[in-house]
């Protein structure tokens, strides 16, 4: 294998191969086409799963025949570009001009004339299935000159800002997760100031695949500009994806909804940009975590974490608050029906001068006789767990590894004592996660007011074997 690779290295440089054969699908109308055709005829580029004749060490032309698995790898590199790419720029138009330009095949889409979403601008091996950075730079320089700024949302990878003339800002958060509300605010304000600075300016937003995290932040800015959450999510789905599945992670959609609620006071106020006042920290006492209607499993581990804002660090890491386990509820030890009472202020119509009146609302949790017919896994906290701000709860089949699903939420938006999340509201539910869920499955988080007395029957019924 070592000799084979050395021989192949003599035929071409790896970087040259990636730039000319893999990373760029050259149109027959492009000026580059003739150059690539000639080089391919000379044996510089690959053809199919074999290698064309190339000069050997002694100057004679030799047919290189790589091993079967290696030839399949080469074939994947050359012909698997369309399969590996998350999306395609083909068919997108802007101002009547085909996008991307002829000679390029880049995963980028204009959501509006001034918001461009794309996948990660990669170098080296990653450029096989991401946007080649040099192509992205060429296209942006050609179309927008000095009027673009790149926003990188990846926490896992970055690049030298000088590659895009220093016009790069980072708002990093984890893949398939959510940022803090503070980060959303900072991002929207930055984009708005950049677009306001010059009518020709555009914002280029990307994560790794250019879908979930990118969609969340693009939609957040659309909401910041006056659009509703649903309209923003729908617009992004239509213009970014061919299957109309834009932002698909439930927690990411939830946070777009949060952001819309924060800005909802602008509904009848045309002034933009809005002066955003984020909700004050709202600590809540988490008293119990229950997985309702489970099957094929006897225990589920979980980790509760909060997004921590670290001074001088753009990334807000999740900091573990507690790690524990949900176990079966002890049979015959259930309490009576236990309605949870809480006070809710309801707006009295359109009359802003009328004083809002408190209403008592009753919400039933699963602590009722129906639980005898359902299998539930519980963890009751003898000392209520205080959580605040942006919270992530992840569930695992084992203490280490085997994640089933997770959910992210902000405590300021928990308006009752219960947060019930069906399977459709949980993130990254895989085959194993679905296999433990009965027809009525949901995750239930029970909260209590600060310093409230814990009902005695909860301690008896829910603590179980833990």
Q: Indicate the length of the chain as a whole number.
A: 466
65 CB-side CA count, 13 A: 1
Cβ–Cβ under 8 Å, residues 403 and 394: yes
Residue that the structure tokens 């700024």 belong to = 149
Nearest alpha carbon to residue 217 among 186, 193, 239, 242: 186
Cα–Cα distances (Å) from 189 to 206, 229, 397, in that order, read: 17, 18, 41
Please spell the DSSP secondary structure of 269-329, one letter per residue.
---SS----PPPP--EEEEEEEEEEE-S-S-EEEEEEEE---TT-S---EEEEEEEEEEEP
Give yes or no: 207 in active site.
Answer: yes
Cα–Cα distances (Å) from 378 to 96, 129, 237, 329, 330, in that order, read: 58, 43, 37, 6, 10
Separation between Cα atoms, residue 42 and residue 265, nearest integer Å: 66
| H or E element in which residue 142 lies | helix 133-144
From 207, 219, 326, 379, active-site residue: 207
| Residues carrying an active site annotation | 207
């Amino acid at each position: 294998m070592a000799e084979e690779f050395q021989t192949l290295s003599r035929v071409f440089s790896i970087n040259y191969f990636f730039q000319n054969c893999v990373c760029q699908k050259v149109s027959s109308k492009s000026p580059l086409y003739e150059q690539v055709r000639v080089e391919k005829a000379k044996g510089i580029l690959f053809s199919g799963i074999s290698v064309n004749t190339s000069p050997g060490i002694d100057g004679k032309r030799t047919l290189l025949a790589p091993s079967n698995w290696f030839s399949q790898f080469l074939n994947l590199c050359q012909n698997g570009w369309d399969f590996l790419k998350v999306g395609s720029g083909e068919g997108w138009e802007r101002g009547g001009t085909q996008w991307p330009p002829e000679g390029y095949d880049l995963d980028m889409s204009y959501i509006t004339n001034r918001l461009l979403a794309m996948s990660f601008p990669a170098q080296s091996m990653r450029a096989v299935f991401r946007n080649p950075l040099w192509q992205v730079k060429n296209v942006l320089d050609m179309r927008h000159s000095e009027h673009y700024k790149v926003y990188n949302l990846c926490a896992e990878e970055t690049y030298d800002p000088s590659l895009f003339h220093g016009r790069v800002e980072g708002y990093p958060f984890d893949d398939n997760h959510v940022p803090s509300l503070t980060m959303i605010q900072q991002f929207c304000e930055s984009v708005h100031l950049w677009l306001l600075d010059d009518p020709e300016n555009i914002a280029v937003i990307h994560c790794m695949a250019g879908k979930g995290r990118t969609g969340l932040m693009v939609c957040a800015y659309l909401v910041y500009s006056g659009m509703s959450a649903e309209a923003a999510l729908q617009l992004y789905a239509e213009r970014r994806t061919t299957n109309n599945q834009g932002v698909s992670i439930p927690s990411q959609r939830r946070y777009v909804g949060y952001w819309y609620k924060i800005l909802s006071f602008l509904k009848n106020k045309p002034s933009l940009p809005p002066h955003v006042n984020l909700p004050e920290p709202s600590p809540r006492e988490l008293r119990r975590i229950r997985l309702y209607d489970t099957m094929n499993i006897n225990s589920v581990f979980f980790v509760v974490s909060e997004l921590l804002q670290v001074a001088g660090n753009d990334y807000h890491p999740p900091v573990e608050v507690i790690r524990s386990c949900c176990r079966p509820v002890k049979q015959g030890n259930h309490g009576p029906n236990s309605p949870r009472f809480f006070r809710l202020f309801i707006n009295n119509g359109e009359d802003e001068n009328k004083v809002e009146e408190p209403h008592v609302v009753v919400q039933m949790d699963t602590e009722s006789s129906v639980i005898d017919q359902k299998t539930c896994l519980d963890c009751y906290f003898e000392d209520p767990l205080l959580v605040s701000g942006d919270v992530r709860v992840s569930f695992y089949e084992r203490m280490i590894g085997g994640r089933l699903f997770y959910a992210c939420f902000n405590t300021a938006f928990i308006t009752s004592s219960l947060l019930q999340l069906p399977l459709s509201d949980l993130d990254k539910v895989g085959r194993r996660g679905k296999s433990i869920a009965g027809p009525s499955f949901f995750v239930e988080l029970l909260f209590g007011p600060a310093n409230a007395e814990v009902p005695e029957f909860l301690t008896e019924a829910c603590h179980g074997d833990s």
